[in-house]
A and B are shown apart, each in its own frame.
Chain A
Amino acid sequence: MKRMRIALAKGRLAEKSVNLFIEAGYQLPDDIFTSRKLIFQAVDDELELILVKAADVPCYVEYGAADMGIVGKDTLLEAGRSLYEVLDLNFGRCKFALAGPPGREESPGYQRIATKYPNFAREYFNEKGQPIEIIQLTGSIELAPLTGLAELILDIVESGRTLRENGLVIYQEICSLSARLVVNRVSMKTRRREINEVIGRLRDRVERGGFLC
């Protein structure tokens, strides 16, 4: 059987994910953050980590190109893929929130909303029965209300500092988010023993707490 492959979201989450694996007792190559390679094999365990763009993690796992993945709940909610979500890793904590300029919260009627999460936003407002126009951006969402591109934004908020420094306030917190361990639906059945071992080791480390957040 080929090695278990785990997809990590590149960026801040990858660093924390790698640390989690190391603290859970996995031996990973030293060059994992300096090399430009995208595939890394654990030394003692039949395990392989791949680094992919965060938004692609759910796709890799759903199609089984990776057996497991670590990715933010925000990305999972947006991607809407069919996966098993087995563990809250408790790091990368943040919130989905609606924000905009102060004092305009109650402005009625039709609104334009800028976001990196169009699917999630559409579902959220559909459920509330609120008609909106979604403007999909890929970064610097805070600029949208400042430049008149949109009235409000739906984005992830960690400390709220970016919002504050751009003169925006949170209108409403929608839900809490954090990094999650997800598993491909078929791998869960065909590689149960190996997957349970990974889940068990990561869960033990997460439950001891300490290094994360």
Chain B
Amino acid sequence: MSAFVEGVRDMLPVEVAERKWLYQRFREVFGQSGYREIVTPTLESLELYAGTETFFLKERMFKVVDETGQILVLKPDVTMPIARLAATQYVEIPKPWKLSYISTAYLANGGKSGQMKEKTQAGVEMMGLGGYLADVEVIGLLIKILQKVGITNPLIDIGWANLVEEIFTNLKLEAEAKRELRYLIEEKNIQQIQAQMVNWDLLSSEREIITRLPELFGDPEEVLKGLKELNLGCRARAVVREMEEIYQCLQQMGLDQYIVFDPVMVTNLGYYTGIIFKAYVPGYAEVIASGGRYDGLTQRFGHAEPAVGFAIEVERLLGCLCQFKIGHVKKADGILCVISEQNEFVSGYRLSQILDSRGVQVELYTGAEWEEYAKFHQVNYIVHWSETGLQVRDMKLRKRVDFLGDLAELAQKVIDYMGRAER
């Protein structure tokens, strides 16, 4: 038996501090925009995910059996439980329902080492509102939060769930050939498409569509222009019009510099029904957030509402911030109050109460190796009782100062000294 589990890990104080800073920014930005934070249980019924085998592989979910024999899962995603919560508990509440979350999701990694089984997602869901303005609002919020945590130049790649399938509907191809074509387009494997096309009975306009699709991505204006040149069916044309409206709106909001289009993008989450998007950071090779519209999902719980949302992959965002050396947490100036005799403890405790009420952090230290301790934790000021009063050791300026007086006077003198030293 090994005491270590592959795919999960401990978080040490430095990382936890950075996470705390991030979580505060998420809560601020989501809260300011009216997204109220909710928490759903870690355990959900396996039934919740019934019928979703196409996008949540059952064998990758962690299952537990409760005392009644019911099979439960550790939630593999956050959106599904929120859809359940909204459809059952929000029905009477005025729409839209704007919810946010910071949560852990659990998924076995299918034996691929390096992939974590436990990951943190932070995101929002806006339910009860269709239309492209809701999509735009959510994308705007994603850009805002990424910039707020130090990603100055995020790139939001926008596509459309099932647009390719829509374009394919009229092609006279076997289902198998369509599946292969879908795969090749997704892989942007133009040569293989051309090689295969010889075997397929297609009109020249259809050939043009399927050879051009893989290259139609990137600059939104070029993509829209290219899509309009193709001989698409009327439903696909309606999607193109909506993508154009979204782009124009983002342009007027001054966000177009962060937007690229990829109409053939696929997502492994099968519940999306409209816009889908992924967030990248130039120079960082992983997707740090993704989202989209999922109008059919709450229907599963008896109450149909349109919905759109996104999830930030917190571990990837942390990796990205680390790669670009964007650190947020600075060491606050605190004091270590060293207690070397038992009778000093109460005075130390009282002094710390006074300093604490004045906004200065004090940590009492009753161990024997205060020098190593202070050095490791990078404490700048150490105070301890001396024969005549209180001695302050300034670790930065490497000097010692002695103060006399009662506790209130000593506290004031320490604060005054720190104020001078900082200048």
Contact = CB atoms under 8 A, between A and B. Distances in A.
B191 A87 contact: yes
Interface in B216-256: 217-218
A87 B190 CA distance: 8
A174 B71 CA distance: 43
B155 A190 contact: yes
Contacts of B190: 86
Given A1-B282, A63-B285, A64-B285, A189 B217 contact: yes
Interface string B180-221: 000000011111100000000000000000000000011000
Given A189-B217, A192-B218, A2 B188 contact: no
B168 interface: no
Contacts of B155: 189-190
Nearest to A190: B282
Contacts of B192: 85, 88
B283 A188 contact: no
B376 to A, nearest CB: 33
Given A85-B187, A189-B155, A1 B283 contact: yes
A190 B187 contact: no
A190 B283 contact: yes
Contact of B287 (A67, A183, A186, A192): A186
Contact residues on A (Cβ < 8 Å of other chain), bracket: 20 to 34
B220 to A, nearest CB: 12
A53 interface: no
Residue among B188, B217, B260, B287 having the largest count of chain A Cβ atoms under 10 Å:
B188
| Residue of B262, B281, B283 with highest tally of chain A CB at under 10 A | B283
Contacts of A87: 191
B332 to A, nearest CB: 34
A67 to B, nearest CB: 8
Contacts of B217: 189
Contacts of B417: none
Contacts of B287: 185-186
A91 interface: no
Closest 4 A/B residue pairs (Cβ) = A64-B285, A190-B282, A84-B188, A85-B189
Given A1-B282, A85-B189, A86-B189, 7 more contacts: A63-B286, A64-B284, A84-B187, A85-B187, A86-B188, A189-B155, A189-B217
Interface of A: 1-2, 63-65, 67, 83-88, 183-192
